[in-house]
Amino acid sequence: MGNNVIRIRKRDGFEESFDALRLSESLQSASGDVLPEGGWLGRLVHQVRQHFSSRVSAVETAEISVLCVRLLRASGLEEASLAYQDFRFAMDTAVSQLRVHTGKGAHAKSGPWDRSRLALSLVRERYLENTVARQVAHSVERRFSMAGQVHLTGRFVAAAVDNECRTLGLAPSSLYAEEVGIDRGQLRAWLGGDCMPASANPCASSAPWMGAPGQDPRQPLGEEVLARFALEEVLSKVQADAMTAGHFALPALGDWLRPARNRLRPSPGESETDFWKRVRREKSSAREIQVFWPRVFPWTQLTVDAPPWLDGVTHRVRLGTSCSKLALQWIRAGHWVSLPLAAFAQAADVHQKDLAESGKCTLSWQPPHRLPPPADRAMQTLDGFAVVNVGGLAQSLTTPSLSGWIQSVQTASDLAAQSVAALCARGQGCGYPRATLFPVGLSSALQRLFPGDELRSDRVRRQLLSLRHIMEQSLRQAQLRSTPASPPHPGPVGIRLAELEGRPPHQAYSWGWSLPKDSGLPSVTSFDTSPWLEFPAAVAHADSSWIKHQTPSCT
């Protein structure tokens, strides 16, 4: 009886043979580093197979999930069992929230995601065998749900299906007559390895860039499709042209269906365990997750050990705290940590020295502000984010002209804010979204416009305040709430914008509001005019002139 073929009944009623590899991948995706090494995963899958080997009737997928949880708990792997339960619940919830929008005008309609319907369309339109069609539909559903997407257009689904079929080596053919995203010829060359796409690394000489060796290429390919779809279908031609010209940038354009970042912190009365469970549930809810642990909350080794299993392919986690001891513990575990400037000032001298010498601690600062209500502190969302290339706009002027620069920055800021608003409305559908605009190349612009002025001059200070007012006004006019604090990291956006002007990487534009002194510390003008600053702890330890700028609150 042990050699019987185990039949598995899927959610749509279709039956198929037991697939040990698929179960292994599901457990690995759900539990990650929580599962022990040494072949334990293979033994777990073997136990599941043995349990159902004598079963005559079909096994429901829910039965397999329940058995996996029971086996994990019986082996003392409580954390792994919780991770697997949370993963299954999150996947089911994400699938139930998917909405598909098709048609335009009077013919527009939307409805819930239906995997079986997509599989049937693949059978009818592409003449795929039923099992293959269901595999493609399942893979597409999994990618949408793991990316945290909710609203899908029919053409976007068609593009994702086409990419999945190409990945499996099937003949390219779209379910829609219109093409969207990547050109067919370029996509064929990309997947076939014949040439490199234009957006890849120009320094490479062979093999298309698709990530690190062994990395699944479908994630960057999916982001490329999302970015192209946004440029062609969501943004106006004027907005897309301005972005292509480098007047502004949307650093997370390949993932615009999710918020730019979510900032999580413990709630009053929330236990340490419950908080990290909440972080695990929310870790794919935004492009970047910022975890902040206030010093007033007690912590144990659980908080020190939690970060390693948070990072993933589809999201980025940044750690922050106002407790210098916890910051040092995280740093010693190999993580980068952000610390409020006031918390650094209140830390013991030996802690300041260790934080500075670690090279992995940044300090954040913002002017005194009113704290949000306690109910809103548990998770703060930033829906959209863009950077305005003020340095490139200044360099493009034939002769330095303050009025011409201000006008070009005004235009670029308006287009950037309108682009963010369009993406938020199309992707997340939230009312009055939170967003921020930040300058890129600020020092370069001011050096060209005011070559003889010091960073502390009144002229420079007035222009910084004017620039800040322009960006905040652009956000308000686009019906966005300005939220400058704790922006997501834009990545190598300064390098990419400089490359558009033919500049080498070492002449990349810096991003943010800081005008650094020779020591690297933000200047007095930066502290007087900026809505948010971030700089290394090492420069603060070497130059103590920042002490008079610290704000008393660092909780």
Residue 15 main-chain phi, psi, to 5 deg: -110, 145
Predicted confidence band of residue 61 (pLDDT cuts 50, 70, 90): confident
Give Rg (Cα) of the chain. Answer: 26
**Would you say residue 202 has pLDDT above 80?**
no
* pLDDT of the residue at 31: 67
Residue 30: give the domain boundaries: 7-90
Give the tokens for residue 144: 């949408």
Name the nearest CA neighbour of 321 among 313, 308, 307. 307
Q: Residue 20 domain-assigned? A: yes
pLDDT digits (tens, 9 = 90+) for 314-326: 568 899 999 999 9
Pair (481, 414) in one structural domain: yes
Pair (80, 123) in one structural domain: no
Q: Residue 209 domain-assigned? A: no
Pair (393, 332) in one structural domain: no
Pair (451, 494) in one structural domain: yes
Predicted confidence band of residue 503 (pLDDT cuts 50, 70, 90): confident
Name the nearest CA neighbour of 342 among 75, 68, 553. 553
Last residue of a domain, which of 90, 117, 132? 90
**Burial code of 193-209, b = ≥16 C-beta within 10 A, e = fewer?**
eeebbeebeeeeeeebe
- How far is 497 from 182, CA to CA, in rounded Å? 22
- Cross-strand pairs, 388: 248, 439
pLDDT digits (tens, 9 = 90+) for 261-296: 999 999 988 999 999 999 988 888 888 999 999 999
Last residue of a domain, which of 42, 58, 90? 90
Pair (377, 398) in one structural domain: no
Q: Residue 176 domain-assigned? A: yes
Pair (270, 377) in one structural domain: yes
Predicted confidence band of residue 37 (pLDDT cuts 50, 70, 90): low
Looking at residue 275, its amino acid is F
Looking at residue 487, its amino acid is P
Last residue of a domain, which of 61, 90, 119? 90
Q: State the DSSP string of 78-145.
A: HHHHHHHHHHHHHHHHHHHH-EEEE--GGG-EEEE--HHHHHHHHHHHH---HHHHHHHHHHHHHHHH
Q: Residue 136 domain-assigned? A: yes
Pair (395, 498) in one structural domain: yes
Positive or negative, the Cα torsion across 11, 12, 15, 21?
negative
* pLDDT of the residue at 290: 94
Q: Residue 398 domain-assigned? A: yes
pLDDT digits (tens, 9 = 90+) for 136-166: 888 888 888 877 788 888 888 888 888 888 8
Pair (346, 377) in one structural domain: yes
Domain tally, the chain: 4
378 contacts: CB under 8 Å, gap ≥ 6: 264, 265, 266, 267, 270
Q: Residue 211 domain-assigned? A: no
Q: Residue 520 domain-assigned? A: no
Q: Which residue has the tokens 């996509």?
A: 187
Q: Residue 244 domain-assigned? A: no
- How far is 507 from 72, CA to CA, in rounded Å? 53
Pair (269, 357) in one structural domain: yes
* pLDDT of the residue at 187: 54
Pair (224, 129) in one structural domain: yes
Local structure of 530: helix, strand or coil: coil
- How far is 9 from 20, CA to CA, in rounded Å? 15
Pair (296, 335) in one structural domain: yes
pLDDT digits (tens, 9 = 90+) for 450-485: 876 665 678 888 889 999 999 999 999 999 999 998
- How far is 161 from 54, CA to CA, in rounded Å? 37
Pair (79, 105) in one structural domain: no
CB neighbours of residue 500 within 10 Å: 14
